[in-house]
Amino acid sequence: MNIIPKLREEVDVKRFNTECAEESAQRAQGKIWISALATLLTLACAPGLVLGQTSAPVASTSKTSAGAPPTALQKSVEAYLRNLYAFGSDVQLTVSLPKESEVPGLLETTVDVKDGENSQSAKFYLSKDGKYLVRGEVSDLSKDPVAETRARIQVNDAPSLGDLKAPVTLVEFSDFQCPVCRSLHDVLRALLPNYPQVRVVFKDFPLESLHPWARTAALAGRCAYQQDPKAFWKVYDAIYDQQEVISAANAWSKMADFAAAAGLNPDAFKACMASPEAAAAVDASRANGQQLEVGSTPTVFVNGRRLVGGDPHLLEQYIKYELAQQRAAKN
């Protein structure tokens, strides 16, 4: 789940983070998620954090860049967020030293929240008088944000399905263990036959803190792709179709079974699974997602247009829009 929920009075141009409401993960944590988040944000999988509550005073952890004590403005932001979200002493909250932003009159700061192994960062904007705090996204109307995003997506050496010259490219950042990613898999299976103009590119984004066998599955997909690009999609289908029977204990053997069923060489597949090259490829894919501010899965880019979650209606809307735009340009 998101560590920092949306501020109540903010305007969020796009959803910064969404979450996957997984009952099994909740039981494992042994605490109760904030009810407002559990009902509001249920579209995608994101690393979770339980928000503690305490009445004890909390020492400020915010520091300036030089390691000096935090400024009054940093203390004010930290106190406000701790009070709003009931962050107790077991939650480390760090507010960076505010600096000038690209928007005249607004300062920019980064808030880092950490609870055990779980962490999250978010950008906030502050009025210079210290009265207003805004979490959102600043858009420069003189630039094409979709083109900029599209240019940062790395599709080389990634599994793809469809015509390389297709007018619409759908890039999917997914986690094989994420239930919402499985739902997106089912949506794409039903949707894509109707849109031969769409090329699909798969990018690994395993959320290891939430899903214990997601990285093993990512390695399996990568090794299937390296041995036979077409076999990747057979392994991809097998993992999502049998997601419920895979566990951290049997993941390796299940992946080997899927690879064998896809016609891959078992010895080469197992050697690849243990290789640093496969691990580096998965890490590179995840790093590309982080550059694009992917924080939850699935996150899809349709010709650079971001969609978080697996909403079939919105996904089809994006595809139709892109096709209509290209038809209009030709005419």
Q: Are 79 and 193 within one domain?
A: no
| Continuous segment of H or E residues that includes residue 263 | none
Of the candidates 82, 83, 125, 129, the one whose C-alpha atom is nearest the C-alpha of residue 106 is: 125
140 domain residue, yes or no: no
Kindly tell me if the per-residue pLDDT of 182 is higher than 90: yes
Residue 185, domain CATH: 3.40.30.10
Q: What is the pLDDT of residue 54?
A: 34
The identity of residue 150, as a single letter, is: R
C-alpha–C-alpha distance, residues 197 and 145, integer Å: 23
Range of the domain at 130: 23-134
Q: Are 208 and 242 within one domain?
A: yes
Kindly tell me if the per-residue pLDDT of 307 is higher than 90: yes
Kindly tell me if the per-residue pLDDT of 122 is higher than 90: no
Q: How, if at all, do strands 168-174 and 299-302 pair?
A: antiparallel
Domain-ending residue, one of 75, 108, 134 = 134
Average pLDDT (278-289) is: 97
Average pLDDT (34-51) is: 40
32 domain residue, yes or no: yes
Q: Are 168 and 110 within one domain?
A: no
The mean pLDDT of the chain is 83
Kindly tell me if the per-residue pLDDT of 43 is higher than 90: no
171 domain residue, yes or no: yes
Domain-ending residue, one of 87, 105, 134 = 134
Q: What is the pLDDT of residue 37?
A: 30
Tokens of 303: 């010709």
Q: What is the pTM of this model?
A: 0.71
Tokens of 312: 């079939």
C-alpha–C-alpha distance, residues 273 and 265, integer Å: 12
15 domain residue, yes or no: no
SS (H, E, C) 267-279: HHHHHHHCCHHHH
More confident residue, 209 or 216: 216
More confident residue, 268 or 64: 268
> How many structural domains does the chain have?
2
6 domain residue, yes or no: no
Q: What is the pLDDT of residue 320?
A: 96
Q: How many residues does the chain have?
A: 331
322 domain residue, yes or no: yes
What band does 295 get if pLDDT is binned at 50, 70 and 90?
A: confident
